[in-house]
Amino acid sequence: MGYYEDNQTKDNKYHFKVINYRKAITAIRALDYEITSEEMARKIPRVGKKIAQKIGECVSLGRIKKLDHLDWDQERLKVETLFRSVYGVGAEKALEWYNKGLRTLDDLRKLPDLTKNQISGLHYYDDLQKRIPRAEVEEIGKVVESAAKKLHPDIQSQVTGSYRRGKPDCGDIDIVVARPDIDTGEELFLIMEHILNELIIQGFLVDHLSLPTWSDDMANAPKHFKYMGICKLPGKGSVHRHIDILVVPWIHLGAALLYFTGNDICNRSMRLLAANRGMRLSDKGLFTGVMRGPKRKRLNEGTWVAGRTEREIFDYLGINYLEPFEREC
């Protein structure tokens, strides 16, 4: 994505450090040779001086000096990572529980004040840790597609997320649903309701993490509905999987596909690029005439100019189209 990276003053240094590390990791993963020195690391695009130094330490000393002081809280790191791997648990909660002396998932299971999602996250923990092979993602995609097409044969259902980027296995299944020329909340909510009912009756959806909500003011405006839940293919021994289903207005389909295909860093880069050109990119589309005040705070909504298709958005931004498999940033 080098050609539309922007060097802005960053508000949150730590946050962008994480992104820089992830970019370097992606670049290193793509190499087909071993890095044996700092100099070699330095030559890799997107590996900066500091990261190259650390790689140098790693290959020559077998450790990174800056991390030496962390030895004392290795246990805390391990426990916090374990807790955060439970669906519905964030960094703050993990630390709070660690400080309370909790150490294992069974400790968490005894807590009286878990949220509904944390209970589900713990209940399906082992299954949700397992990666989903592409073939199974496809099969799950077809189950949702058939449920949607039962309501109307025109309805389109596409698997996005890491699957669409071509990953060999995925963390969850992300599906975007739309119907040609259908844009209003009322009709879209009906599509969502129908799909969910159908999949619940089939026994395919077994638990809900987040259900879309309805209010009357949504009826006539374009509206996105998101469902998050746990699904399971029929048959003994099939694994519980996390599934996200998005029902979106036809006019926003391109923007929704772009957003939901990711990856998150690619989304961030494109949003930053749009912002630097006085525009705004969201899962609803590209907006122009966006005014920003201090700290880039947005002062108005802007005018929607593109988003029916992904290409339209790339074109309007003036950048080359990236195939989904090229969006691994």
Residues interacting with Mg ion, by CB under 5 A? 161, 172, 174
**Stretch 226-255 residues interacting with Mn ion (CB under 5 A):** 244
State which residue, 249 or 262, has the beta carbon closest to ligand DCP.
Answer: 262
User: What is the C-alpha separation between 208 and 230, in angstroms, rounded?
Assistant: 6
Task: Kindly state the smallest distance separating residue 61's Cβ from Mn ion, in Å.
Answer: 39
Site for ligand DCP in 267-296 (CB under 6 A): 267
Least distance from C-beta 164 to ligand DCP, angstroms?
8
Query: Please, which residue, 256 or 274, has the CB nearer to Mg ion?
Result: 256
Residue with the shortest CB distance to ligand DCP: 262
Q: How far is the CB of 266 from Mn ion (least distance, A)?
A: 15
Confirm or reject binding of residue 145 to ligand DCP (CB under 6 A).
no
301 binds, among ligand DCP, Mg ion, Mn ion, none (CB under 5 to 8 A by kind): none
Give the single-character DSSP code of 220: T
Q: Is 38 in the site for Mn ion (CB under 5 A)?
A: no
Structural contact between residues 221 and 252, judged by C-beta atoms closer than 8 angstroms: no
Is 66 one of the catalytic residues?
A: no
- Please state the closest distance from residue 310 (CB atom) to ligand DCP, in A: 14
Enumerate residues 6+ apart whose C-beta is below 8 A from 167. 134
Q: Could you tell me where the DSSP H helices lie in 30-153?
A: 38-42, 49-61, 74-84, 91-99, 105-109, 116-123, 125-129, 134-151
Among 141, 229, 262, 307, contact with ligand DCP (rule: CB under 6 A): 262
- The token duo for 299 is 């002062």
Closest CA to 191 of 139, 141, 154: 154
Pairing state of beta strands 225-231 and 205-210?
antiparallel
Nearest of 228, 219, 159, 210 to residue 189 by alpha carbon = 219
Q: Does 260 bind ligand DCP (CB under 6 A)?
A: yes
Residue type, 32: D
Calculate the alpha carbon distances from 301 to 219, 296, 305 in Å.
21, 13, 12
Q: Considering 10, 50, 54, 295, which one is annotated as catalytic?
A: 54
Options 164-172, 193-201, 219-227, 261-269: segment touching Mn ion (CB under 5 A): 164-172
Q: Which does 88 bind (CB under 5 to 8 A by kind): Mg ion, ligand DCP, Mn ion, none?
A: none
Contact between 247 and 178 under an 8 Å Cβ cutoff? The reply is: yes
Q: Please identify which residue in 145, 174, 183, 198 interacts with Mn ion, judged by CB under 5 A.
A: 174
Determine the distance from the C-alpha atom of residue 189 to the mean position of all C-alpha atoms in its chain, rounded to a whole number.
Answer: 23
H or E element in which residue 229 lies: strand 225-231
Q: Which range binds ligand DCP by CB under 6 A, 121-129, 134-142, 166-174, 273-281? A: 166-174
170 binds ligand DCP (CB under 6 A): yes
Active-site annotation, residues: 54
- Residues making contact with Mn ion (CB under 5 A): 172, 174, 244
- Residues making contact with ligand DCP (CB under 6 A): 161-162, 170-172, 174, 259-260, 262-264, 267
